[in-house]
Amino acid sequence: MSDFSEAQIERYSRHIILREVGGKGQSKLLDSRVLIIGAGGLGSPVGLYLAAAGVGTIGIVDSDAVDLSNLQRQILHATTDLGRPKCLSARETMEDINPDVCVVPHQFHLDSSNVLDVVADYDIVVDGADNFPTRYLVNDACVMQGKPLSHAGILRFEGHVTTIVPGRGPCYRCLYPEPPPPGLVPSCQEAGILGAVAGIVGSIQAAEVLKLILRIGDALVGRLLVFDGLEMAFRSIEIPRDSGCSVCGDRPTITAPIDYEEFCRLRGGTESKPEVQS
Amino acid sequence: MSTNGDLVELRLFGPLREVVGKKLVSVPYAGLTVAEALVRFADEQGESVRPMLFDSRGNRLRSLILLLNNQTVDQLETSRLRSGDVITVLLPLAGG
Amino acid sequence: MTERAPECRLDLRGTPCPLNWVKTKLRLEEMEPGRRIEVTVDQGNPARNVPRSAKMEGHRIVHAISRNGAVRICIERAEESAP
């Protein structure tokens, strides 16, 4: 498709040169729609790389405002953005990097009433949330709608990444059927996170999304990549699909999204109002 | 007491590593099943570790990934550990 | 019809590497296998790099003719451009 402008030919030249991408691949990127949950530590590198790569439409779900404690790792936002909605700060940064990209802000809490509608508008979803209820909500919605999902979680010096393609491999609930009891696994707010670890893990998510759009290589389907930043080592763990999984199994018992606040209460949790971003 | 022939390794990640203070722990658990090894480990480590493996009723948490020599274990209750085996315990991470 | 005529011609004199190849590649992608394109590039690096990149993607260099400080390269599109 040579309806690229001169500027686009130059901007995307290092992609087009790749045998696996070419002009056709670059057109696919420009035509694709990716939803990022959370414009935080993971969402920042994902958003930056997807925008730079020319992913045509990028939705961002985040209801928070930029806080000074975010800036150590959330590289979509700047000191001048303090107090601004993260969605808008992210949109500005990403559209500055690449005016070919349309960033759609979704400035609200995801819950069972809106998650299916939001996810339905996109081809691929990226989970960069900072709490378990949102992660289960997004996983379930993606399974129900058959949308590929790049999942990652980080804490301190550690990161976990996997790619969920419903029907082709395990989902998040196959890995962890239920969330841990509230308070057991600390948040980055409590336990800390090395900023660059978020960058490494988020960049892996971005690469996975681009590969899925281009239909090249092997995605992290059925594999959990565990990154240890202190040891500077990656371990790849093969995880099978669970045919008894409550959402993607042969006889699913979860057939509608579970509202995450209710989700916590159902399990007797005392977790306070979940935030979508850390 | 234990001899080297009894030793298996527990490889810990995330909050469990934080609480135990080590990423690798050598324990004389050869001969136990994986399930028994976790109970023994929780007993030995005490109350800071137990809630990361078991709920208040003593059931193993459903939010753990357990690996034996880097493979998922189907038979936690029957697979017996051999000297040199490595059990990996992973908890999900919420941070983003 | 011993020598098929190029389906299109691109004058890429003054276009630096690697943009000369990028523009050639975009045209090749749109062409049917076996069809030919003639690109004119500057001598020196462009004349070395463009044929090398084309060959790396499996295309055939039919000929390269030097004239007046430029090189006319005729490339035949390969059967498969992607792996």
List, for residues C14-65, the tens digit of each pLDDT value.
999 999 999 999 999 999 999 999 999 999 999 999 999 999 999 999 999 9
The mean per-residue pLDDT over the stretch A27-50 comes to: 98
pLDDT in tens, A184-214: 888 888 889 999 999 999 999 999 999 999 9
- Mark whether A and C touch (3+ CB pairs within 8 Å): yes
Residue A181: band (very low, low, confident or very high) from pLDDT cuts 50, 70, 90: confident
C-alpha–C-alpha distance, residues C12 and C24, integer Å = 9
CB-CB under 8 Å, A226 with B63? no
* B74, pLDDT greater than 90: no
Residue B3: band (very low, low, confident or very high) from pLDDT cuts 50, 70, 90: low
What residue segments make up the domains of chain C, in order of their start?
11-76
CB-CB under 8 Å, B51 with A181? yes
Query: What pLDDT score was predicted for residue A264?
Result: 47
* A132, pLDDT greater than 50: yes
CB-CB under 8 Å, B51 with A131? no
B45 in contact with A, Cβ within 8 Å = no
pLDDT over 90 percentage in chain A = 87
Burial (CB count <10 Å: 0-12, 13-18, 19+), residue B58: exposed
Sequence-separated (6 or more) residues with CB below 8 Å from residue A221? A162, A163, A164, A165, A168, A169
The mean per-residue pLDDT over the stretch A237-254 comes to: 96
C-alpha–C-alpha distance, residues B21 and A173, integer Å = 28
Q: B92's torsion region: left (phi>0), alpha (psi -120 to 50) or beta?
A: beta
**How close, in Å, is residue A90 to chain B by CA atoms?**
16
B88 in contact with A, Cβ within 8 Å = yes
Residue of A nearest to B61 (CA): A180
- Which of C12, C15, C23 to probe by mutation at the A interface, max A CB count within 10 Å? C23
* A117, pLDDT greater than 90: yes
B58 in contact with A, Cβ within 8 Å = no
pLDDT in tens, B20-68: 999 999 999 999 999 999 999 999 998 999 999 999 999 999 999 999 9
Query: What pLDDT score was predicted for residue A194?
Result: 97
The string of DSSP letters for B12-66 reads E-HHHHHHHT-SEEEE--TTSBHHHHHHHHHHHH-TTTHHHHB-TTSPBPTT-EE
CB-CB under 8 Å, A13 with C18? yes
All residues of chain B having their beta carbon less than 8 Å from the beta carbon of residue A110 are none
C-alpha–C-alpha distance, residues A86 and A90, integer Å = 6
Query: What pLDDT score was predicted for residue B79?
Result: 83
**What CATH class has A7-266?**
alpha beta
Peptide bond into B51 cis (omega under 30): no
Query: What pLDDT score was predicted for residue A268?
Result: 40
CB-CB under 8 Å, A238 with B71? yes
* A275, pLDDT greater than 60: no
Report the topology of domain C11-76. Translation Initiation Factor IF3 (3.30.110)
**How close, in Å, is residue A120 to chain B by CA atoms?**
23
Query: What pLDDT score was predicted for residue C3?
Result: 61
All residues of chain A having their beta carbon less than 8 Å from the beta carbon of residue C26 are 2, 4, 9, 16, 22-23
Query: What pLDDT score was predicted for residue A270?
Result: 40
Enter the tokens of residue A146.
């058959």
Average model confidence (pLDDT) for chain A?
93
Give the dihedral sign, CA C42/C43/C44/C48.
Answer: positive
3-class DSSP state for residue A123? coil
Q: Output phi, psi for A205, to 5 deg.
A: -60, -45
CB-CB under 8 Å, A187 with B91? no
CATH of domain B4-90: 3.10.20.30
ipTM of the complex: 0.91
A135 in contact with B, Cβ within 8 Å = yes
pLDDT in tens, A53-107: 999 999 999 999 999 999 999 999 999 999 999 999 999 999 999 999 999 999 9
* A228, pLDDT greater than 90: yes
Query: What pLDDT score was predicted for residue A260?
Result: 60
Query: What pLDDT score was predicted for residue A147?
Result: 98
**How close, in Å, is residue C69 to chain A by CA atoms?**
25
Query: What pLDDT score was predicted for residue B73?
Result: 85
Enter the tokens of residue B15.
């909050």
HSE-CB for A232 with a 13 A CA cutoff: 1
* A272, pLDDT greater than 80: no
C-alpha–C-alpha distance, residues A127 and A35, integer Å = 9
